[in-house]
């Protein structure tokens, strides 16, 4: 049984938003996951789609596994570094602005049987 992993690092979308998309495809067949992500309206769906496409291509090219036999066994989004800066407010105060980013990891596994 072959595990194929792919990483997407420093995606400029918060991990909380990416998890909404990632939870949709966990455990699904790779082809079904790709079809589903094409029609998800969230902004994080396109980068996750590209990541799964890349993992499928790696499996076909490097391990000779058919894309019909692949399943999204593990997929998760972790927090990446947050860019922080300030926006100035009234009375000499400032309001922090947090630009969050995330790391996404996908593991495709060959279906048994």
List, for residues 57-101, the tens digit of each pLDDT value: 999 999 999 999 999 999 999 999 999 999 998 999 999 999 999
Contacts of 91 (CB under 8 A, 6+ apart): none
pLDDT band at 111 (very low <50, low <70, confident <90, very high): confident
**CA-atom Rg of the chain in angstroms:** 17
Query: CB atoms < 10 A from the CB of 33, how many?
Result: 25
Task: Domains for the chain: give ranges and CATH numbers.
Answer: 3-110 (3.90.470.10)
- Best CA proximity match to 17, nearest among 79, 61, 110: 79
Instruction: Give the start-end residues of each E strand in 1-113.
Output: 3-11, 70-79, 83-88, 94-99, 102-110
Q: What integer pLDDT is reported at residue 112 of this predicted model?
A: 80
- Best CA proximity match to 109, nearest among 56, 66, 71, 63: 71
Q: pTM of the prediction?
A: 0.91
10 Å CB burial of residue 67 (0-12, 13-18, 19+) is middle
pLDDT band at 113 (very low <50, low <70, confident <90, very high): low
Question: Is the distance from CB of 55 to CB of 4 less than 8 angstroms?
Answer: yes
* pLDDT tens figures, 19-39: 999 999 999 999 999 999 999
């Amino acid at each position: 049984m072959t595990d194929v992993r792919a990483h997407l690092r420093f995606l400029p979308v918060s991990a909380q938003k990416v998890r909404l998309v990632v939870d949709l495809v966990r455990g699904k067949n790779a082809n079904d996951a790709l079809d589903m992500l094409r029609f998800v309206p969230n902004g994080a769906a396109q980068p996750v789609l590209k990541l799964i496409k890349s993992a499928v291509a790696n499996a076909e090219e490097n391990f000779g596994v058919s894309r019909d036999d692949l399943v999204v066994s593990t997929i998760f989004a972790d927090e990446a570094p947050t860019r922080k800066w300030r926006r100035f407010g009234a009375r000499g105060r400032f309001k922090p602005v947090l630009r969050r980013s995330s790391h996404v990891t996908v593991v495709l596994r060959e279906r048994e049987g």
